[in-house]
Amino acid sequence: MSPADPSPVTRQGASPREAPADGVRGRVTVDGKFFRLDGRKFLVKGVAYGPFRAGDGTAGFADRDRTRRDFAMIRELGANVLRVYAVPPTWFLDEALEAGLRLLIDVPWHQQACFLETEERRRAARQAVRRAAEECARHPATFALCVANEIPPDIVRWHGPRAVEAFLEELIELVKQSDSDCPATYGNFPSTEFLQPREADFVMFNLYLRRRADFENYLARLQMLADTRPLVIGELGVDVLREGEAAQAGRLAGQIEAAFQGGAAGAIVFRFTDEWHRGGREVTDWAFGLTTRERAPRPAFAAVREAFARAPRLLEGPVPRVSVVVAAYNAARTLPHCLGALTRLRYPDYEVILVDDGSTDATPDLARDYPGIRYFRHERNLGLSAARNRGIELATGEIVAFTDADCRPDEDWLQYLVHDLLKLGVSGIGGHNLLPPDDSAVAAAVMAAPGGPLHVMLDDRLAEHVPGCNMAFWRSALVEVGGFDPLFRRAGDDVDLCWRLQAQGARIGFSPGGFVWHYRRSTLRAYLRQQHGYGEAEAWLERKHPGRFNRFGASRWRGRIYGGAPFVSLPGRPIIYHGRYGAGLFQTLYGTDASGLLALATSLEYHVLVELPLLVLTVVFRWLWPLAMGAVALPLLVSFLAARQVRLPRRKRRFWSRPVVALLFYLQPIVRGWARYQGRLFLGQTPRRVRLDFRALTEHRPEDERGQLAFLAPAGLDRLTFLQTVRTRLETDGWRVRPDAGWSPFDLEIYGSHWSKLQLTTAAEYEPDGRPWIRCRLRTAATLPGRLVFWALCGLALVGIGLVRGEPGPAWFGCLLPVAWTLWLRRDQRALRRQVAVFLRRVIETLTPPPPHP
C-alpha cells in the first residue's frame, strides 16, 4: 500500500489492512431508491450471519480463523453484505472490509419487554445504540445500523404505535449524531407493518412467504409503504427441516429474483449456516442455513449464488426499442445533466429525441455537444404538448418514454420501466421523481411543498396518473388517442392523456425501480409561477373532464396520491387491524388520511367565502371580531402543522426550511386557486363579436322561447351525428362549447356571455309510423361569474342594511340590487336560448336534402 493510500479505521490495536477483495474502501450511501458505492450502484446481496458461541472472547462471533474461512465461502456465494445480530469488534469489521463485505449491524437491546414503561429500559436502549454507533458507524465496512428488529406486535399495541415510532426515531437520531453519513433503519415485519419511522434512511422488512405470487404481491405493497426510500428485504428464508432442501433452493432463488425485479434495493437470505445461537443457547429445531453446521453447502447455496449473479436480471432476449423524448424550452441550466444521463442508460436498444420548443437561450448550442442525440427545433414556442407530439412523430421505437429537461434518469431507468410495462401488460408506466442530492435547500423546501408532480395510485401496481417527467407508453396507444392535446401548453397534458387512455379501457402501471432525479424550482417565485400554470391547466382539464372535478374546480382523484408531502391529518389514534387479541400475522394501517376540512382551510374558497366576509361583517357587528381573528389564524395554523409533518432530507435542512414550507403551504392554494378561477371565469365566454354577428343574422320564432324543441330528422341522420355536427359548426363559428365527457346530464354546454350558459340535452324518438324525431332540451343557467356577482350583491345589500339601520329607503334600494341583477340575467339567458334554437333549426335545414325536381 503506497503512502498516499488511505488507511482503514483501526482501533483496539488492529493493524491496517491491504485493499479489500472488492478493491473499494468507500462508504455505501443512499442513492434514491437504491444505494451507491464509489459511484456505482450497490445492490444489497446479503446473508444473515451468527450469532455464534463466543469466540476470541467476543460474544456472538466465531474466532478469527473460522470467520476468515466463512468469509471466503460467503464471497464465493456472491454476497456483498452480512447481517449480524450483535455489535462486532473492530477486527471483525476489518476482516469484513478485507473480504469485500459490508455489515448491516443489528443493535441488540431488550426489545421483547415493555421498554417504554421505565426510564431505565429506555436509557439502556439509548446506550446500546449510542455505543454501537460510536464503535462502528464510521468504519467503511459498516453498511448500516438497524436500531431495532421485529418489536412484538403486542408490545407495540401496549405502548401505542406513535410512541414506539417516536422512540425509534430518537434511536435513529442517536446514530446520526455519531455519524450523519451512516444509514440507519428499523427491521420491520408484517405483524407491525404500520410502524413507519420517517427518519429511517431505508425501509427494511423481514418477509417469510411460501408462494412467489404472495411474495410479489406483498412486495408491491411494501414499495408503496417505502415510497421514495429504498426497500430492502431484511430476511427471507426456508426451513429445511420442515420444507426440504429442494423447496429451499427453488423458493429462495425465485424470491431473490422477484425482489430485485420488483425494484427492491436488496435482499438478505436468512441464513448462512445452521449454526447459530439465541438467548445463549444453540438453536437446533430450525435449519435455515445455506450450509450445514459443518459448513457443507446445500443445494440452496448454488441456487442463491446463481440468483445473486443474475440479479437484477430485468430483461432477457430481444427487447422492444424505446424512443426517449425530451421537450426543452430555455433549459440550458439543467439540460447537460439530462442529456449526459440519457447517454449512459443501461438499455440495449434506445434513441433519444430532443425537441427544442423555440428556446431563446443556449439550448441549441448545448444540443450540439451530444451528436448521438436526435435534435429537432420548433422555430417558435408551440407548447409542451406540441413538442411531445413532435417527438412521437419522430419516434422509431415501439415504446415512447418521456422525461423533462430538468430531470436526470437513473442508469437503469428504462430497464425497470420496460420490465414492468411488459410484466403488468399495461398501456403505460411511470415511476418516482426524486430530489437530486446536488439540488439546493430551497429546492428541498419546494419538494416538500404541495402541488408537485406526483403519482396517483389506484392500488399497489396500477396508477390513475403518472407525472410527465417520468412516463412511458406503447406508441400505438399514444397514436390511438391522438397523442397529447395541444391545448395544454405548460402543464396538465400528462393528466389529460392518462384520463383519456383510461376512458378507453387502458391501464397504467407503476414501476418502483424506474426513477428519475428531478431538479425542483430554485426560488419561491419560480415555484409560485409554476403553481399558477398548474392552476390554468386545471381550468382546461375541468372543461374536458368535468366529472373529475368538484364544484369548486378542484380535481377529484379516485386513487391515493403518493410521493409528496402529506397534508395535515387530524390527531387521534390510527386505525389498525391487529387481528384477534393483537396476534394477526399481517397488521395493516388503515388510518389517518389527510383531513378534507383542514385542507379546505387553506383554500382560496375559504379566504373568499369565510375569512373575508367575517372581516367585512366585523365593521357592523363588532362582536364578530374573535370569530374573524380565529378564521384568519386557522389557515396559518394548518400551514405550520403541515410543515411539521413533511419529511425533509437531512442534509438539506436549514433553520428556515420549515417556515418556508409553511409559507408555501399557505400561498400555494391561493395562487393555484386564483389561476384556476381565472380560467373558469374567462375561458368560457364566447367572444362578443361572434354573438353580435350571429344576433344580427338571426330571426327567431315564438317557439324559440320555449325550453324544448323537436325536429323531424332527415333520412339517415342519427342523434350522435346531429350532435357532432352542431358542435363542429358552433366551434367553427367561434362559440365556446364543452361536450359531455361521460359524467354530465347534458350533451353540450354552450357559453354565451360571461354570465350565461346553456345546456343542450337531446333524445331520439320514433313515431308509430317510423318517423324519427330529435328532441332538444335547452336549459339555461348562470355561469360561475354570474353566480359570484349575485352573491356579491347580496353581501353588499346585507352590509348596507347594517350600515343604514333605521333608514328604510337605502336599505330597500340595496335589496333591489340582487333582484335587478337576476332580472337582467334572465333576459340574457332568454337571448342565448333564442340564438341556440335558431342555430339548431338552421343545422337541421342544412342537413335536410332539397325536394326532388318535378
| Pairing mode of beta strands 455-457, 322-328 | unpaired
CB 460 within 8 A of CB 223: yes
How many angstroms separate the CA atoms of 476 and 347, rounded? 21
Q: What is the pLDDT of residue 377?
A: 94
Distance CA(766)–CA(429), nearest Å, equals 47
Low-confidence ranges of the chain (pLDDT < 70): 1-24, 54-58, 550-554, 562-598, 680-705, 741-743, 799-814, 849-854
pLDDT for position 451? 84
**Strand (E) positions, 724-783?**
736-739, 748-751, 756-766, 772-782
C-alpha 656/C-alpha 664 separation (Å) is 12
34: left (phi over 0), alpha (psi -120 to 50) or beta: beta
pLDDT of residue 841: 85
Closest CA to 686 of 632, 764, 749: 749
Q: How far apart are the C-alpha atoms of 735 and 618, rounded to whole Å?
A: 44
List Cα–Cα distances, 143 to 101, 312, 818, in angstroms: 9, 20, 71
- For residue 478, give the nearest of 395, 384, 354, 356 by alpha carbon: 395
pLDDT computed for residue 400 by the predictor: 97
* Residue located via cell numbers 344580427: 696
For residue 727, how many other CB atoms are within 10 A of its CB? 18
- Please give the pLDDT value at position 683: 60
Per-residue model confidence (pLDDT) at position 222: 93
The CA distance from 203 to 210, in Å, is 22
One-letter identity of residue 76: E
CA angle 830/832/833 to nearest 5° reads 65
pLDDT by residue (tens digit) across 31-83? 999 999 988 999 999 999 989 876 555 678 888 999 999 999 999 999 999 99
Using CB atoms within 10 A of its CB, is residue 804 exposed (0-12), middle (13-18) or buried (19+)?
A: middle
Instruction: Give 539's contacts (C-beta < 8 A, 6+ positions apart).
Output: 553, 675, 676, 677, 678, 679, 680, 683
3-class SS letters over 496-557 = HHHHHHHHCCCCEEECCCCCEEECCCCCHHHHHHHHHHHHHHHHHHHHHCHHHECCCCCECC
As separate numbers, helices (DSSP H) first and strands (DSSP E) second, the chain gives 26, 35
